[in-house]
Structure 1
Amino acid sequence: MQTILYARVSTDEQTASHQATQARAAGFNIDVVVADEGVSGVSTALKDRPQGRRLFDLLRRGDVLVVRWIDRLGRNYGDVTETIREMMRRGVIVRTVINNMTFDGATTDPMQMAVRDALISFMAATAQAQAEATKEAQRAGIAHAKGRDDAYLGRRPTYDRSQLDDVVARLDAGEAVQAIAKATGLSRGTIYRIRDSRAEAEAALARWAA
């Protein structure tokens, strides 16, 4: 049995090593890291990604697949739900770093299965909704940044793209501000500002080309 971390990074500012560090800090003993870099989770299904295909070849019954959050598997509701169900059919256990969620096919109790499947559906829908909200925030942020005087950049953001994505994912997963601050190393004030105005958080990155 092996524990495999799958990391998907879609921008130059994100790194697979950052996701691996987070997983190990959360107590996971990672045997193999499989990473797709610069790949969209919205338009490209896991099975169609170069390393996604490798992941399906590597995983065996009893293996543990670790992802930072469900959105690393994809941002499309149908793709994510089918991917997790396929993993469970294969006897693979899926675990998340954020909130330490576990999905497997071990239970045969109808009620437990219904609760598990409902949770998978909710998380997959949240991943897609987050992707759509992030795109909208990015568009609004860039437009806002362009509308400002180029000579005024404001205060340089204390976070980078990877940290912003991490904070947004944790907020959407329902984590408390204090817990997010501890996990990311950012101040609670910064987390509150990101929570209250994602468009402005994106605008700050756009203004500083961060």
Structure 2
Amino acid sequence: MTVRIYGYLRASTTEQNADRARPALECFAFNQGVAVSAWFTENESGASMKRPELFRLLDVAQPGDILLLEQIDRLSRLNAKDWQKLRGLIQSKGLKIVSMDLPISHTLMDAETSESFQGRILDAINGMLLDMLAAVSRKDYEDRRRRQSEGIARAKELGRFKGRPVDTDQRLKIMELRMKGFSYSDIERMLGCSRSTIASAVKGLQHSSAEAV
């Protein structure tokens, strides 16, 4: 049976480089004596189940294939319910998760070891560690969100909070595409921005048009 290895790369925002970890994963695979069959890259929150590239990977993968990650938090910052749903889907597909930050998972790269009794034991241990790391990733996400909210609240009290700076270039592109008749979904795909950002830019366009009348 031919085992294919799929690299999954994720960053939370379009300002971050989702491909950053690719060289390290390529080097890791090379040292394991294997090659990555395909890469799936996206800029989406790990706390959301809305990740088209991840689900495209799951759609094409076959039993025994490997989902390769830099860290478990690239796969999940999900709450417990969503994580169990995603993990259940991965298990039902018969995929193996190998992450650079989980050394025990590295043994799953060896097909012989993976199919042995020892491999099955290691796979079970790996599953427990995956659950633990996914929970840690979620807690880290929640802690950072809480600290951010507290910082914003404190800055507002002191009159220092200015909000996120507006990306003028992006808004101009949105307005231009919208005027050319492109849909919100088209603009989302083309610019990698959220629908709320598009709506805000369109609102600004409508406001400017009303003032010009």
Q: TM over 0.5: same fold?
A: yes
Contact 2:97 2:105 in 1 (8 A): yes
Contact 1:22 1:97 in 2 (8 A): no
Give the match for residue 61 of structure 1: 63
TM-score, normalised via structure 1 length: 0.56
1:112 Cα shift? 6.0
The separation in 2 between residues aligned to 1:31 and 1:7, in whole angstroms, is 14
The structure-2 alpha-carbon separation of the partners of 1:22 and 1:145, relative to structure 1 and needing over 3 Å to count, comes to: farther
Give the match for residue 133 of structure 2: 123
Give the match for residue 155 of structure 1: none
Contact 1:61 1:91 in 2 (8 A): yes
Are 1:36 and 2:42 counterparts?
yes
The separation in 2 between residues aligned to 1:113 and 1:20, in whole angstroms, is 25
Q: Secondary structure at the match of 1:98?
A: coil
The separation in 2 between residues aligned to 1:50 and 1:17, in whole angstroms, is 16
1:148 Cα shift? 9.8
The separation in 1 between residues aligned to 2:155 and 2:104, in whole angstroms, is 37
Q: Alpha carbon RMSD of aligned pairs, Å?
A: 3.2
Give the alignment of 1:1-210 within 5 angstroms: 1-27=3-29, 29-37=35-43, 39-42=44-47, 44-45=48-49, 48-76=50-78, 77-102=80-105, 115-142=125-152
The separation in 1 between residues aligned to 2:61 and 2:123, in whole angstroms, is 23
The structure-2 alpha-carbon separation of the partners of 1:114 and 1:50, relative to structure 1 and needing over 3 Å to count, comes to: closer
Question: How many residues of Structure 1 are paired with residues of Structure 2 in the alignment?
Answer: 146
- Give the gaps of 5 or more residues in structure 2: 109-113, 162-213
Moved more, 8-17 or 103-112: 103-112
Residues 114-160 of structure 1 show CA distances to partners (whole Å, capped at 9, x for unaligned) of 6444323211211110110121233345566775989xxxxxxxxxx
The separation in 2 between residues aligned to 1:68 and 1:111, in whole angstroms, is 23
Give the match for residue 199 of structure 1: none
1:23 Cα shift? 1.2
The structure-2 alpha-carbon separation of the partners of 1:102 and 1:89, relative to structure 1 and needing over 3 Å to count, comes to: farther
Q: Secondary structure at the match of 2:42?
A: strand
1:84 Cα shift? 3.1
Residues 69-124 of structure 1 show CA distances to partners (whole Å, capped at 9, x for unaligned) of 22222212332344234323322211112243428785778976764443232112
